[in-house]
Structure 1
């Protein structure tokens, strides 16, 4: 029995999928190839987005693979670090914006609709109840999404991709509007979302190696 679940050699087990699920493997590989073609976003941009999404999926195989692919496509380490911080900020933002549901739960007169845009008007409650932490979050979010090695526009495109990965409707709404205001096109946003889709699928795909390993132990 292998004592370490996460070793790079695990990926060698994936070769068995050619016999275990050949049709599904081909379809996944075709999907992945099409998503990462040059389009409204370059391959480099798509791989930077992919690295940001791996921070959400927390798949070590995907982190390793897409970091190397991003480097090969011309991404600098500073760009990948900034992308990772965008992901961290959106994860933090999802938690912060969902605090509005705590406010609703304690209010007997709250509406039945859980995800109304108007919920965000109650975000100020968190600022009043935990003012220092909330100010810290605001400063962090601003720092993570301002222009640096990556443009503010591209960071907002990353933010939309990450928001779709975290499935936070508030984050999707807010960052889609910010991205569009900074000049992002519908095509760019659509391609970024498809990168998220491929990475979400990729995390499950990569972990099939653990099924094979456990089954064969």
Structure 2
């Protein structure tokens, strides 16, 4: 596709050509646009709302204001509530904090893996012994 054809497709989809695409050189524009459509816009195994909530969480950790704005707006467009957006950010904050702690403390990784495997086995067995809805899933 030519640059003009790609920009026409963007205008039909978005109502404009986002400036981030205008700065991409001709040599890679088609590849970048194709990849963007496939990864960011095409239906996949994970529903769009949840993919965007993951994007919100990742952008919070990477501290990219462009990504945070993009993924927050896309999450809202796909039905995410303010409470879901806040929860995604809070989850990211918690995960990053624990990552910093266990890495900084150099917790034994093999022991950590054994413990987490044991925890998951325990929870699976507990879920199997309870009726549906008795334990958080």
CA RMSD of aligned residues (A): 2.7
Cα distance in 1 for partners of 2:56, 2:85 equals 7
Cα distance in 2 for partners of 1:47, 1:93 equals 23
Aligned to 2:32: 28
The counterpart of 1:46, out of the listed 46, 51, 63, is 51
Q: TM-score scaled to structure 2, two decimals? A: 0.60
Aligned to 2:80: 75
Residues 12, 34 of structure 1: CA spacing in aligned structure 2 closer, same or farther, 3 A cutoff?
Answer: closer
Aligned to 1:205: none
Structure 1 segment 1-217 matched on structure 2, within 5 A = 12=19, 14-17=21-24, 21-36=25-40, 37-101=42-106, 116-118=109-111, 120=112
**Which runs of 5 or more residues in structure 1 are unaligned?**
1-10, 104-114, 121-169, 183-217
**Which runs of 5 or more residues in structure 2 are unaligned?**
1-17, 125-137
**8 A contact 2:56–2:68 mirrored in 1:** yes
Residues 29, 56 of structure 1: CA spacing in aligned structure 2 closer, same or farther, 3 A cutoff?
Answer: farther
Aligned to 1:187: none
CA shift digits 1:121-169 (9 cap, x unpaired): xxxxxxxxxxxxxxxxxxxxxxxxxxxxxxxxxxxxxxxxxxxxxxxxx
Number of aligned residue pairs: give it: 100
Q: Which has the higher contact order (CA 8 A, sep 6+)?
A: 1
